Amino acid sequence: MKNQQISDLIFKRFAGKLLVILLLLFTGLTAKSQETLLNAISNQKGPPSEMDLSELKAVFKGEKQRWRDGTKISIALMKPNNPIGKSIGKKIYDMTSDELNKFWFQLVFQGKVSAPNFFNSVSELENFVAQNPGAIGITNETAHTAEVKTVAINGKKTF
Protein backbone atom coordinates (compact mmCIF):
# COMPACT_ATOMS: atom_id res chain seq x y z
CA MET A 1 0.00 0.00 0.00
CA LYS A 2 1.26 3.43 -0.84
CA ASN A 3 1.63 6.17 1.76
CA GLN A 4 -1.16 8.22 0.14
CA GLN A 5 -3.58 5.29 0.28
CA ILE A 6 -2.75 4.67 3.94
CA SER A 7 -3.27 8.38 4.72
CA ASP A 8 -6.61 8.37 2.89
CA LEU A 9 -7.75 5.25 4.76
CA ILE A 10 -6.80 6.72 8.15
CA PHE A 11 -8.52 10.00 7.29
CA LYS A 12 -11.75 8.24 6.22
CA ARG A 13 -11.87 6.19 9.43
CA PHE A 14 -11.10 9.23 11.58
CA ALA A 15 -13.59 11.43 9.72
CA GLY A 16 -16.33 8.80 10.09
CA LYS A 17 -15.78 8.53 13.86
CA LEU A 18 -15.63 12.31 14.17
CA LEU A 19 -18.92 12.61 12.30
CA VAL A 20 -20.58 10.10 14.65
CA ILE A 21 -19.28 11.98 17.71
CA LEU A 22 -20.51 15.30 16.34
CA LEU A 23 -23.93 13.84 15.56
CA LEU A 24 -24.23 12.44 19.09
CA LEU A 25 -23.24 15.77 20.60
CA PHE A 26 -25.63 17.70 18.37
CA THR A 27 -28.51 15.32 19.14
CA GLY A 28 -27.88 15.69 22.87
CA LEU A 29 -27.79 19.47 22.64
CA THR A 30 -30.95 19.59 20.54
CA ALA A 31 -32.84 17.39 23.00
CA LYS A 32 -31.72 19.59 25.90
CA SER A 33 -32.68 22.81 24.11
CA GLN A 34 -36.19 21.47 23.41
CA GLU A 35 -36.86 21.05 27.14
CA THR A 36 -40.02 22.90 28.13
CA LEU A 37 -39.49 25.98 30.25
CA LEU A 38 -42.13 26.33 32.93
CA ASN A 39 -43.66 29.26 34.83
CA ALA A 40 -45.30 29.29 38.23
CA ILE A 41 -48.38 31.51 38.26
CA SER A 42 -50.55 32.40 41.22
CA ASN A 43 -53.51 34.37 42.42
CA GLN A 44 -52.61 37.81 43.76
CA LYS A 45 -53.74 36.73 47.28
CA GLY A 46 -51.70 34.18 49.19
CA PRO A 47 -48.61 33.01 47.36
CA PRO A 48 -45.40 35.03 47.61
CA SER A 49 -43.94 36.75 44.56
CA GLU A 50 -40.75 34.69 44.79
CA MET A 51 -39.95 31.16 45.97
CA ASP A 52 -37.05 28.78 45.68
CA LEU A 53 -37.52 25.55 43.75
CA SER A 54 -37.47 23.37 46.87
CA GLU A 55 -40.31 25.42 48.41
CA LEU A 56 -42.30 25.20 45.15
CA LYS A 57 -41.85 21.42 45.11
CA ALA A 58 -43.00 21.18 48.74
CA VAL A 59 -46.16 23.12 47.88
CA PHE A 60 -46.90 20.97 44.84
CA LYS A 61 -46.30 17.75 46.79
CA GLY A 62 -48.90 18.75 49.37
CA GLU A 63 -46.36 19.24 52.15
CA LYS A 64 -47.60 22.77 52.78
CA GLN A 65 -51.33 23.49 53.20
CA ARG A 66 -51.45 27.25 53.77
CA TRP A 67 -49.59 30.36 52.65
CA ARG A 68 -47.87 32.65 55.17
CA ASP A 69 -50.96 34.90 55.30
CA GLY A 70 -53.16 31.90 56.22
CA THR A 71 -54.82 31.50 52.80
CA LYS A 72 -55.46 27.86 51.89
CA ILE A 73 -53.30 26.59 49.02
CA SER A 74 -55.13 25.38 45.90
CA ILE A 75 -52.97 23.51 43.41
CA ALA A 76 -53.67 23.82 39.69
CA LEU A 77 -51.94 21.41 37.31
CA MET A 78 -52.10 20.54 33.67
CA LYS A 79 -53.34 16.98 33.10
CA PRO A 80 -50.34 14.65 33.41
CA ASN A 81 -50.94 13.06 30.01
CA ASN A 82 -50.39 16.23 27.96
CA PRO A 83 -46.89 17.52 27.04
CA ILE A 84 -46.87 20.34 29.60
CA GLY A 85 -48.17 18.00 32.29
CA LYS A 86 -45.41 15.52 31.48
CA SER A 87 -42.78 18.26 31.84
CA ILE A 88 -44.25 19.26 35.20
CA GLY A 89 -44.20 15.63 36.29
CA LYS A 90 -40.51 15.38 35.49
CA LYS A 91 -39.35 18.75 36.87
CA ILE A 92 -41.46 19.01 40.02
CA TYR A 93 -42.23 15.43 40.97
CA ASP A 94 -39.56 13.42 39.14
CA MET A 95 -42.36 11.06 38.11
CA THR A 96 -44.07 9.73 35.00
CA SER A 97 -47.74 10.53 34.33
CA ASP A 98 -48.88 7.22 35.84
CA GLU A 99 -46.67 7.68 38.91
CA LEU A 100 -48.02 11.21 39.40
CA ASN A 101 -51.63 10.00 39.25
CA LYS A 102 -50.86 7.27 41.81
CA PHE A 103 -49.04 9.80 44.04
CA TRP A 104 -52.07 12.10 44.21
CA PHE A 105 -54.53 9.24 44.54
CA GLN A 106 -52.66 7.94 47.60
CA LEU A 107 -52.42 11.37 49.27
CA VAL A 108 -56.11 12.11 48.73
CA PHE A 109 -57.22 8.58 49.74
CA GLN A 110 -55.22 8.87 52.96
CA GLY A 111 -56.94 12.19 53.69
CA LYS A 112 -53.66 14.12 53.82
CA VAL A 113 -54.60 16.71 51.18
CA SER A 114 -57.40 17.70 48.86
CA ALA A 115 -57.02 16.73 45.24
CA PRO A 116 -55.31 19.19 42.92
CA ASN A 117 -57.31 20.71 40.10
CA PHE A 118 -56.32 19.32 36.70
CA PHE A 119 -56.84 21.19 33.43
CA ASN A 120 -56.72 20.48 29.69
CA SER A 121 -55.53 23.94 28.67
CA VAL A 122 -53.36 26.74 30.00
CA SER A 123 -56.26 29.22 29.69
CA GLU A 124 -58.51 27.02 31.88
CA LEU A 125 -55.73 26.72 34.47
CA GLU A 126 -55.08 30.47 34.42
CA ASN A 127 -58.80 31.25 34.82
CA PHE A 128 -58.97 28.95 37.85
CA VAL A 129 -55.92 30.60 39.41
CA ALA A 130 -57.36 34.07 38.75
CA GLN A 131 -60.67 33.23 40.47
CA ASN A 132 -59.33 31.39 43.54
CA PRO A 133 -57.35 33.14 46.29
CA GLY A 134 -54.38 30.98 47.32
CA ALA A 135 -54.27 29.18 43.97
CA ILE A 136 -50.95 28.38 42.33
CA GLY A 137 -50.29 26.61 39.05
CA ILE A 138 -47.56 25.73 36.62
CA THR A 139 -47.75 26.41 32.89
CA ASN A 140 -45.45 27.00 29.98
CA GLU A 141 -46.68 30.60 29.63
CA THR A 142 -46.46 33.79 31.68
CA ALA A 143 -49.58 35.24 33.31
CA HIS A 144 -51.95 37.04 30.94
CA THR A 145 -54.35 38.78 33.36
CA ALA A 146 -54.01 41.29 36.18
CA GLU A 147 -55.55 38.79 38.65
CA VAL A 148 -52.64 36.41 38.10
CA LYS A 149 -48.97 37.00 38.83
CA THR A 150 -45.88 35.12 37.77
CA VAL A 151 -43.99 33.73 40.75
CA ALA A 152 -40.21 33.97 40.35
CA ILE A 153 -38.48 30.66 41.09
CA ASN A 154 -34.88 31.00 42.28
CA GLY A 155 -35.04 34.60 41.07
CA LYS A 156 -36.13 33.70 37.52
CA LYS A 157 -39.47 33.90 35.70
CA THR A 158 -38.96 30.47 34.10
CA PHE A 159 -37.44 27.25 35.35
Alpha helices in 82-143 (DSSP H): 83-88, 97-109, 122-131
Residue pair 92/60 in contact (Cβ under 8 Å)? The answer is yes
**Does residue 127 lie within any of the structural domains?**
yes
Looking at the structure, do residues 88 and 105 belong to the same domain, yes or no? Answer: yes
Query: Is residue 158 domain-resident?
Result: no
138, 78 contact by CB (below 8 A): yes
Could you tell me if 30 and 44 lie in one domain?
no
Tens digits of per-residue pLDDT, 40-99?
999 999 999 999 999 999 999 999 999 999 999 999 999 999 999 999 999 999 999 999
Among left, alpha and beta (phi > 0; psi -120 to 50; other), residue 19 is: alpha
Instruction: Give the domain CATH number at 111.
Output: 3.40.190.10
Q: pLDDT tens digits, residue range 111-159?
A: 988 899 999 999 999 999 999 999 999 999 888 889 999 999 999 999 9
Give a yes or no: residue 118 inside a domain.
yes
Q: How far is 75 from 56, CA to CA, in rounded Å?
A: 11
Residue 15's domain comprises: 1-34
Whether 54 maps to a domain, the answer reads: yes
pTM score: 0.77
In a domain, residue 63? The reply is yes
Same-domain pairing of 89 and 24: no
Structural domain tally of the chain?
2
Pair (17, 67) in one structural domain: no
* Domain assignment present for 159: no
Other CB atoms closer than 10 Å to residue 108's CB: what's the count? 14
Nearest-10 Cα torsion for 80, 81, 82, 85: 20
Q: Are 46 and 22 found together in one domain?
A: no
Q: Are residue 49 and residue 27 in the same domain, yes or no? A: no
Q: Give 78: exposed, middle or buried? Use CB within 10 Å, 0-12, 13-18, 19+.
A: buried
